[in-house]
């Protein structure tokens, strides 16, 4: 995690940590003081590229601004759901501000923001880019091509129907297959591993467990399975 409030200190921290091979990416929060494509942040991206470190964008906020586009909410769930909307805004900013046109092979990734929203988002962004690209002539490739070559997504969390074995009452088997068309589109469009391998990046959510059904490997009791609890009561 870098202190983006100070560009100079962020660059210095990247250069310091890059000497330690245990650091594999530069982590930034999806909600900050301004869109991530702004030129003020470009020295950070240049330093990361020079040292061979991808930029990771994680759900979270500095809370200098409201986490939703219409102001402050009352509950954590409003903040949590809005994280995906924030990443769409940041991805648009990174593309239209020309970040990916400035470097030979910059690479960004997201974590804990999901990916099922991507097909509809890319369709909308691509449509408006075609009609309004005269105002951003430095974007010399279609947004779809930029996302395909420069962005990768973590595989957790997945906004999908639950596993039939975890659902109470059981869901119909075909419900799990409803996410298959999305995965087919993403495999052809955008989800990728680093260095071009197929698929998305692995990501663990442990110890966070508030967005999943109780894990089967912890074998919660039948009493726990009753109701709609999302929290895993086996965890401290």
CB 152 within 8 A of CB 193: yes
Tokens of 72: 């402050």
The per-residue pLDDT for 84 is 85
| pTM: predicted TM-score of the whole model, two decimal places | 0.74
CATH topology of domain 7-204: TIM Barrel (3.20.20)
Sketch the domain layout of the chain as residue ranges: 7-204
The pLDDT of residue 161? 60
Q: Are 179 and 134 in contact (CB under 8 A)?
A: no
- Residue 86 burial (C-beta neighbours within 10 Å; 0-12, 13-18, 19+): buried
pLDDT score, position 235: 41
Please enumerate in sequence order all residues whose Cβ is within 8 A of that of 141, keeping only pairs 6 or more positions apart, or say none: 100, 101
Q: What is the pLDDT of residue 92?
A: 95
Which pLDDT score, from 0 to 100, does residue 108 have? 64
Residues of the chain with pLDDT under 70: 103-113, 155-157, 159-236
pLDDT for the residue 192:
47
């Amino acid at each position: 995690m870098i202190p983006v409030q100070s560009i100079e200190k962020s660059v210095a921290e990247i250069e310091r940590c890059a000497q330690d091979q245990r650091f594999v990416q530069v982590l930034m929060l999806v909600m900050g003081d301004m869109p991530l494509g702004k030129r003020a942040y470009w020295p950070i991206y240049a330093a990361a590229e020079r040292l061979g470190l991808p930029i990771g964008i994680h759900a979270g906020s500095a809370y200098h601004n409201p986490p939703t586009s219409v102001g402050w909410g009352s509950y954590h769930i409003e903040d949590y759901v809005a994280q995906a909307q924030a990443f769409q805004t940041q991805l648009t900013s990174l593309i239209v501000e020309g970040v990916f046109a400035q470097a030979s092979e910059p690479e960004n990734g997201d974590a804990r923001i999901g990916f099922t929203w991507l097909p509809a988002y890319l369709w909308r962004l691509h449509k408006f880019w075609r009609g309004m690209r005269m105002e951003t002539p430095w974007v010399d490739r279609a947004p779809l091509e930029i996302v395909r070559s420069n962005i990768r997504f973590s595989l957790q969390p997945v906004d999908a129907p639950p596993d039939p074995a975890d659902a109470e009452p059981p869901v119909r088997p075909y419900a799990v297959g409803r996410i298959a068309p999305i995965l087919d589109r993403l495999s052809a469009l955008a989800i990728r591993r680093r260095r071009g391998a197929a698929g998305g990046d692995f990501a663990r959510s442990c110890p966070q467990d508030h967005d999943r059904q109780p894990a089967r490997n912890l074998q919660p009791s039948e009493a726990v399975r009753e109701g709609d609890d999302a929290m895993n009561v086996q965890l401290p």
